[in-house]
């Protein structure tokens, strides 16, 4: 299903190539990202995911083909690595102001939107992997981007944290209508809300919905027989969400303290102490 087809095009990369030292790092790459669309780039190490993302953001210019961006396009970028001097104390609030100055209320609103406003005065060094990614997301969202580019948003995050982060990214798309480009360095995991997966291998190997890519002969021949069952697509089977501050959001939207939340497991419902 592509509900976003026909929506405004934010970035169009057409037949683009990048050449360095006499070799094509990527060649003949087509990527279109529309408003409200989630596009995920997957591919083996060195297959050109970061290079393609740099073409999208404009950090790199193509040596072949073309890249066009909606005029005035605002991009929020969450990098794979941050060059921060970790020996210096840095609060989350200060992290938010490193690349621009914003009123306190705006910073708090951005941190609240990603579920970490209670950590505004915490030191970045002490955050968990998931909390850090949420702080980085808030930092990208405060620019009110039309396009959010996330280079491996779930690194350093455990499985349940990954599900929660992917939920949050889907929610950001639903609420703001921005386009999202995700780079997944974990080949076999793609969030279910992804509209289009583009599988790279120096060129576009295959593309489509997560389900169609997992079944495509190109994907299978690139990653071998084991890949047949390996592309895990996050589904949303859970009926409640554990919020980062320890409270629980029920399916009907009620927010309750963890001790008030009843887990209904297959065997029996029980109340956590």
**Which residues are near ligand ATP by CB under 6 A?**
20-21, 25, 43, 45-51, 185
Closest contact distance (angstroms) between CB of 104 and ligand ATP is 36
**Closest to ligand ATP by CB, 11 or 141:** 11
**Closest to ligand ATP by CB, 46 or 246:** 46
Closest contact distance (angstroms) between CB of 11 and ligand ATP is 17
Residue 258 token pair: 């963890």
**Closest to ligand ATP by CB, 80 or 97:** 80
Closest contact distance (angstroms) between CB of 114 and ligand ATP is 24
Closest contact distance (angstroms) between CB of 153 and ligand ATP is 14
């Amino acid at each position: 299903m592509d509900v976003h087809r026909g929506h405004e095009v934010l970035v169009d990369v057409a037949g683009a190539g990048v050449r360095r030292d006499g070799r094509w790092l990527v060649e003949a790459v087509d990527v279109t990202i529309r408003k409200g669309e989630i596009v995920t780039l997957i591919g083996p190490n060195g297959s050109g995911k970061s290079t393609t993302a740099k073409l999208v953001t404009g950090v790199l210019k193509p040596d072949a083909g073309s890249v066009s961006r909606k005029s005035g396009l605002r991009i929020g970028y969450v990098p794979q690595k941050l060059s921060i001097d970790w020996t210096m104390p840095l609060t989350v609030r200060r992290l938010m102001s490193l690349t621009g100055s914003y009123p306190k209320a705006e910073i708090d609103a951005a941190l609240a939107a990603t579920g970490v406003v209670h950590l505004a005065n915490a030191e970045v060094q002490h955050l968990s992997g998931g909390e850090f990614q949420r702080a980085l997301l808030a930092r990208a969202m405060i620019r009110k981007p039309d396009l959010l580019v996330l280079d491996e948003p779930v690194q350093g995050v455990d499985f349940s944290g990954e599900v929660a982060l992917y939920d949050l990214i889907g929610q950001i798309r639903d609420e703001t209508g921005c386009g999202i480009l995700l780079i997944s360095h974990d080949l076999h995991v793609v969030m279910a809300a992804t509209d289009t997966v583009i599988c790279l291998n120096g060129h576009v190997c295959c593309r489509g919905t997560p389900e169609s890519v997992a079944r495509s002969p190109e994907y299978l021949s690139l990653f071998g027989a084991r890949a047949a069952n390996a592309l895990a697509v996050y589904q949303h089977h859970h009926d409640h969400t554990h919020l980062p501050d320890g409270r629980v959001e029920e399916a009907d939207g009620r927010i309750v303290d963890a001790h008030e939340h009843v887990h209904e497991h297959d065997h029996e419902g029980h109340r956590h102490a």
